[in-house]
Amino acid sequence: MKLRKIGFDLMVYESVDELEKEDQILMIEAVKARNNAYSPYSKFNVGAAVLLDNDEIVIGNNQENASYPSGLCAERVAIFYASAKFPGIGIKAIAISATSKNFVVDKPAAPCGNCRQSISEYEIKQLRPISIIMSGETGEILKCKSVSDILPLAFSSAFLG
Ligand code: THU
């Protein structure tokens, strides 16, 4: 048996002001977007903002449904919308932010597994990393330089032959 260690650099910021300007602008859009989430069931509002190579920012927020699994996370709403509106344009980054009507979200909202997989599809397709910037309402802000950092050993079209 061999042991293979997998690690990655996670950047930790004390506040939005500490982020690079481009990331700051993107996070502000994600924070704005979370206010328009449709989340009558969970009361957990997530906003996402995608920055494209053409400098467009496409936003999304979670859209829930009385039939719970029919709803969709903010990250996928945003990244699918970006690909629908600007097909083939490279994606630089996605910022994600969460708030709740029931409690203070005091730690960054990390994308769920399905969203990681969906972001990974575009990252692999464009052969360039998509950085992920995450925040809550308060507390630190996290950034990783590639979705592959938080989705190691990802499934991709390479497995399909
Ligand atoms: N949610 C997101 O929008 N993104 C995630 O990565 C995790 C969860 C949404 C889905 C649902 O509307 C609510 O948060 C509670 O799970």
Q: What is the CATH number of domain 11-140?
A: 3.40.140.10
pLDDT digits 0-9 by tens, 121-154: 999 999 999 999 999 999 999 999 999 999 999 9
Residue 39 CA: nearest ligand 1 atom is: 12
- The residue whose C-alpha atom lies closest to atom 7 belonging to ligand 1 is 112
User: Hey, which of 31, 34, 41, 42 would you mutate to test ligand 1's pocket, going by the most ligand atoms within 8 Å of its Cβ?
Assistant: 42
pLDDT, position 147: 98
* Ligand 1 proximity of 46 Cβ (cutoff 6 Å): yes
Tell me the CA–centroid distance for residue 23 and ligand 1, in Å: 22
Question: Which of left, alpha, beta for 123 (phi over 0: left; psi -120 to 50: alpha)?
Answer: alpha
* Average pLDDT of every residue of the chain: 98
Tell me the CA–centroid distance for residue 1 and ligand 1, in Å: 38
Which of 58-89 are b and which e, b meaning 16 or more Cβ less than 10 Å from the residue's Cβ?
Answer: bbbbbbbeeeeeebbbbbbbbbbebbeebeeb
pLDDT, position 57: 98
Tell me the CA–centroid distance for residue 64 and ligand 1, in Å: 9
Per-residue pLDDT, averaged over 15-40, amounts to 98
pLDDT digits 0-9 by tens, 68-94: 999 999 999 999 999 999 999 999 999
pLDDT digits 0-9 by tens, 88-119: 999 999 999 999 999 999 999 899 999 999 99
